[in-house]
């Protein structure tokens, strides 16, 4: 998407990804400062801001992690500027400490944080529902259902934040951030670029100040209801005896599911799910005997509805997660909602599912990926040194895929940086050698404190830093090593006092195997920096003449299948028991032609 | 109202196609909705895009209700037939991209099995990769496929709107011209299939 399309002032409809609509919303709201650490499904907001922020007149940075990104935005708000920070759901855990404190301080310039949750775990380690974190930290929680609302809620979120003095959390989900639909632009307001010093009695959370601020938090939250914001974000549609209460992405499935099932119900869609307007909702639910609650995650709204029912002393028949009528996990879709309604109404669910039995297609390393070569070399070195019961914590990035066969690395993974963190424990309690894997961007994000701990407390381990000089998994965002003032991993390690620092190029298998073996003989903390640019990034820079591809010389191939069984590049395939290389997929990295993969020299460059 | 599943493997230009198709519909004043799921891998993983033109709220197409599957890869085309209604149409590229579990076990691709599943439905095959290659731009596979989809007559969008959107989507005029040619070649290829 080009800047000119974002800057347009026309009434025409745009076909925007939810994440793109967010950027237009920031422009319309006159936001000054934005920051993030990339994470799917929020990454495209950063990709687009990175490309266009100068034209939009918005400050944007890729911060080293979510906590720093949050603090960059919070500081801007304390000066009176409008500030926005965004991240995937688990990124908010990283920012948690400052996140909670800002709820106490309140804000001066409008402050909106967007958390992109991932129900059904398309690219995450959990499906945590960050509405709970919003409520926990006393933020105003908003839930858009589609790209148009994402844009509109961003704009209105800033107004509400400034009207109340409290920060706003927008909870998006994969299917809203990655939904593309019609978006109509609104007016652009002038940037509010105040710059007055923070009110230090609110922004320095000494116990004295915090004590005084506690009641103010709830006074600010009350304004959300008193000024009608909570009520204005409730939409009611349809007619029927029963009431379905829903929000966010789950809302999108309800209408079609009702239609297919031949059912009628009133649908209440909640746009601000914390704080709720208790009186308004009571006046709605009191007319219905049966209430069905369908939300993704939770039971967040559901628990609040129970509170209203109990508080008002009314009796209602409620169907939801707590009663077992709605499943706790995964995203909603028409098929699931239809199934839920069928059970509640005791009607048949007519969906016929055809069973299709085909091999799975799990995610895999790209052809030419340097990680494949690093893992392949590591396995050879471990075998040659007779290491069998080693333990190998891994981390978050493309290289997590080394978990799968035939590589089989990874014994523990909790969060960003946990590879080195857990290695500190394993090095003492497991009693055997630890070899741990982490990427360059993850190392900067959360890998430095645990490696200081390892040196300081003398926990022996081999740390392999898979350095492809990009944040590859989220689409190739920059890292401190390749943009701005360059920060080198090697310099950090030296300053920490890591004595054994090795560098290798994974495309040179022989050198990499020898490097691993040398590190395995050392005491204390050893680091191997396995350095080779991400193949996708490198390909973008190649000229046409630099591209080459490889093929299998069938006369030389002895059908040992080592290349397919152990190196397992995605460009290989088998036909009539022979090995071939798909010329469309081959990246030309040449690693498979090395004797450590093909001892018979059967893999040759295509002339 | 039309619901189409675009199925294939990362790197085949499926999302670009979905965008163009959706934008062409909007150009004609229709509503379009699209949702894409790509897993952890940047390349080689499964991709499926649900595209719905008309007055829908849910971008996710319910099981057994899609009007068409536009399949870029044989096995992924077959896999996605769970979403197709009984009298739905399949437009399938013959391309086979071998998944890791088969490569690792030195096993062959389930070509016959995939074709058998596809044959249960009204289907058209297109050699989109070959056609794109013959036009000198292998990345125009997606526009060959778009042409084929238009050719089977399932889209309620005019050729003019589609071509206009294609032209506007590529900044380089040469690339834009090749993609229009690819679209036309896709239409021709599917018309030929119809005759056979």
Residues A35-58 have pLDDT tens digits of: 999 999 999 999 999 999 999 999
Average pLDDT value for residue range B75-98: 97
Please report the pLDDT score of residue B196 as a whole number.
Answer: 65
Among the CATH numbers 3.40.50.970, 3.40.1000.10, 3.40.190.10, 1.10.1040.10, which is that of A3-227?
A: 3.40.50.970
Fold classification of B2-195 (topology level): Pyruvate-ferredoxin Oxidoreductase; domain 3 (3.40.920)
Among the CATH numbers 1.10.287.990, 3.40.50.2300, 3.90.79.10, 3.30.70.20, which is that of A542-605?
A: 3.30.70.20
Residue B128 forms contact with A (CB below 8 Å)? no
Least CB–CB distance from A363: residue in B32, B35, B39: B39
Please report the pLDDT score of residue B44 as a whole number.
Answer: 79
Task: Spell out which residues of chain A touch residue B34, defining contact as CB-CB under 8 Å.
Answer: 15, 179-181
What's the CA gap between A23 and A52, in Å, rounded?
A: 9
* Residue A447: band (very low, low, confident or very high) from pLDDT cuts 50, 70, 90: very high
* Residue A470: band (very low, low, confident or very high) from pLDDT cuts 50, 70, 90: confident
Tens of pLDDT, residue by residue over A59-96, are 999 999 999 999 999 999 999 999 999 999 999 999 99
% pLDDT > 70, chain A: 100
What DSSP designation does A269 have?
A: E
pLDDT at B40 over 70: no
What's the CA gap between A594 and A585, in Å, rounded?
A: 19
pLDDT at A191 over 90: no
Least CB–CB distance from A356: residue in B33, B81, B100: B81
Q: What is the dihedral of CA A566, A572, A575, A578, to 10 degrees?
A: -60
What's the CA gap between A111 and A82, in Å, rounded?
A: 6
Name the A residues in 166-205 with CB < 8 Å from any B CB.
Answer: 174-175, 178-182
% pLDDT > 90, chain A: 92
Helix, strand, or coil (residue A381): helix
What's the CA gap between A232 and A160, in Å, rounded?
A: 12
Residue limits of CATH 3.30.70.20 in chain A: 542-605
What's the CA gap between A442 and A417, in Å, rounded?
A: 6
Please report the pLDDT score of residue A471 as a whole number.
Answer: 86
Residue B35 forms contact with A (CB below 8 Å)? yes
Count Cβ–Cβ pairs < 8 Å, chain A vs chain B: 179
Chain B residue with CA closest to A356: the answer is: B79
The ipTM is 0.96
Residue B172 forms contact with A (CB below 8 Å)? no
Average pLDDT value for residue range A86-110: 98
What's the CA gap between A242 and A259, in Å, rounded?
A: 15
Do the Cβ atoms of A44 and B38 come closer than 8 Å?
A: no
Count of other CB atoms within 10 angstroms of residue A240? 14
Count of other CB atoms within 10 angstroms of residue A50? 17
Q: B62–A252: do the CB atoms touch at under 8 Å? A: no
Tens of pLDDT, residue by residue over A393-423, are 999 999 999 999 999 999 999 999 999 999 9
Task: Decide if domain A234-345 falls under CATH 2.60.120.260.
Answer: no
Average pLDDT value for residue range B10-25: 94
Positive or negative, the Cα torsion across A353, A357, A362, A364? negative
Residue limits of CATH 3.40.50.920 in chain A: 234-345
pLDDT at A476 over 90: no
Tens of pLDDT, residue by residue over B138-156, are 999 999 999 999 999 999 9
Q: A180–B46: do the CB atoms touch at under 8 Å? A: no
Residue with the bigger pLDDT between A483 and A464: it is A464
pLDDT at B41 over 70: no
> What does each C-alpha distance from A59 to A5, A53, A193, A481 come to in angstroms?
19, 6, 11, 21
Instruction: Show Cβ contacts of residue B177 under 8 Å, excluding neighbours closer than 6 positions.
Output: none
pLDDT at A226 over 80: yes
Residue A334 forms contact with B (CB below 8 Å)? yes
pLDDT at A193 over 80: no
Q: Write phi, then psi, for A8 (nearest 5 degrees).
A: -50, 145
Q: A181–B33: do the CB atoms touch at under 8 Å? A: yes
Residue A473 forms contact with B (CB below 8 Å)? yes
Residue B23 forms contact with A (CB below 8 Å)? yes
CATH superfamily for domain A370-539: Thiamin diphosphate (ThDP)-binding fold, Pyr/PP domains (3.40.50.970)
Average pLDDT value for residue range A164-178: 98
């Amino acid at each position: 998407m080009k800047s000119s399309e974002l800057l347009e002032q026309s009434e025409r409809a745009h076909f925007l990804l939810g994440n793109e609509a967010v950027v237009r919303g920031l422009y319309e709201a006159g936001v000054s400062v934005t920051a993030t650490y990339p994470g799917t499904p929020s990454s495209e907001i950063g990709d687009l801001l990175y490309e266009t922020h100068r034209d939009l007149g918005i400050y944007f940075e890729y911060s080293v992690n979510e906590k720093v990104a949050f603090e960059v935005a919070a500081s801007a708000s304390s000066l009176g500027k409008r500030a926005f920070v965004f991240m995937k759901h688990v990124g908010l855990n990283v920012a948690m400490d400052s996140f909670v404190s800002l709820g106490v301080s309140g804000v001066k310039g409008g402050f909106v944080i967007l958390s992109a949750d991932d129900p059904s775990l398309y690219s995450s380690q959990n499906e945590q529902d960050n509405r709970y974190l919003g409520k926990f930290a006393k933020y105003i929680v908003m839930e858009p259902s589609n790209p148009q609302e994402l844009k509109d809620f961003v704009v209105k979120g800033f107004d509400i934040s400034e009207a109340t003095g409290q920060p706003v959390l927008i909870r998006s989900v994969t299917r809203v951030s990655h939904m593309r639909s019609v978006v109509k632009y609104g007016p652009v307001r002038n940037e509010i670029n105040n710059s007055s010093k923070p009110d230090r009695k609110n922004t320095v959370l000494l116990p004295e100040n915090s004590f005084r601020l506690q009641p103010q938090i709830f006074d600010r939250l009350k304004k959300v209801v008193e000024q009608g914001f909570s009520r204005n974000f409730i939409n009611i549609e349809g007619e029927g005896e029963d009431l379905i209460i829903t929000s966010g992405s789950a809302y999108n499935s309800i209408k079609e599911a009702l239609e297919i099932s031949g059912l009628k119900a009133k649908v209440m869609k909640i746009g601000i799910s914390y704080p709720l307007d208790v009186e308004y909702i009571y006046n709605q639910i009191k007319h219905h005997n049966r209430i069905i609650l369908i939300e993704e995650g939770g039971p967040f709204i559901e628990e609040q509805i129970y509170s209203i029912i109990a508080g008002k002393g009314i009796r209602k028949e409620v169907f939801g997660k707590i009663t077992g009528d709605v499943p706790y996990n995964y995203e909603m879709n028409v098929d699931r909602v239809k199934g839920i309604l069928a059970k509640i109404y005791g009607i048949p669910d007519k969906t016929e599912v055809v069973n299709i039995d085909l091999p799975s297609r799990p995610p895999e390393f790209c052809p030419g990926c340097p990680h494949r070569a690093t893992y392949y070399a590591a396995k050879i070195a471990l075998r040659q040194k007779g290491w069998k019961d080693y333990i190998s914590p891994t981390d978050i990035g493309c290289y997590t895929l080394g978990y799968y066969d035939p590589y089989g690395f990874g014994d523990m993974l909790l969060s960003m940086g946990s590879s080195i963190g857990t290695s500190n424990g394993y090095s003492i309690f497991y009693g055997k050698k630890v070899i741990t894997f982490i990427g360059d961007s993850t190392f900067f994000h959360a890998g430095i404190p645990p490696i200081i701990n390892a040196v300081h407390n003398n926990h022996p381990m081999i740390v392999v830093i898979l350095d492809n000089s990009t944040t590859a998994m989220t689409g190739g965002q920059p890292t401190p090593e390749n943009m701005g003032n360059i920060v080198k991993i090697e310099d950090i390690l030296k300053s920490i006092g890591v004595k054994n620092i090795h560098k290798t190029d994974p495309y040179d298998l022989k050198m990499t195997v020898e490097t691993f073996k040398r590190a395995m003989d050392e005491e204390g903390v050893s680091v191997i920096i396995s350095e080779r640019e991400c193949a996708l990034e490198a390909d973008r820079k190649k000229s046409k003449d630099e591209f080459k591809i490889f093929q299998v010389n069938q006369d030389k191939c002895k059908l040992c299948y080592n290349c397919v069984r152990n190196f397992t590049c995605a460009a290989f395939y088998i036909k009539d028991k022979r090995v071939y290389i798909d010329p469309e997929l081959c990246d030309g990295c040449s690693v498979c032609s090395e004797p450590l993969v093909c001892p018979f020299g059967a893999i040759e460059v295509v002339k | 109202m039309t619901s189409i599943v675009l199925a294939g493997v990362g790197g085949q230009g499926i999302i670009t196609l979905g965008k163009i198709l959706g934008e062409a519909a909007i150009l004609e004043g229709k509503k379009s909705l699209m949702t894409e799921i790509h897993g952890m891998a940047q390349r080689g993983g499964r991709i499926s895009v649900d595209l719905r033109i008309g007055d829908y709220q849910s971008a996710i197409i319910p099981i057994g209700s899609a009007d068409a599957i536009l399949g870029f890869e044989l096995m992924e085309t077959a896999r996605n037939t769970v979403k197709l209604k009984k009298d739905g149409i399949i437009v399938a590229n013959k391309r086979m991209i071998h998944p890791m579990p088969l490569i690792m076990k030195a096993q062959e691709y389930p070509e016959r099995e995939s074709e058998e599943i596809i044959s249960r439905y009204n289907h058209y095959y297109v050699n989109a990769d070959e056609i794109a290659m013959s036009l000198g731009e292998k990345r125009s596979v997606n526009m060959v496929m778009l042409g084929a989809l238009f050719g089977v007559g399932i889209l309620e969008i005019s050729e003019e709107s589609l071509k206009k959107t294609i032209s506007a989507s590529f900044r380089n005029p040469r690339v834009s011209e090749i993609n229009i040619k690819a679209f036309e070649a896709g239409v021709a290829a599917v018309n030929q299939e119809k005759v056979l």
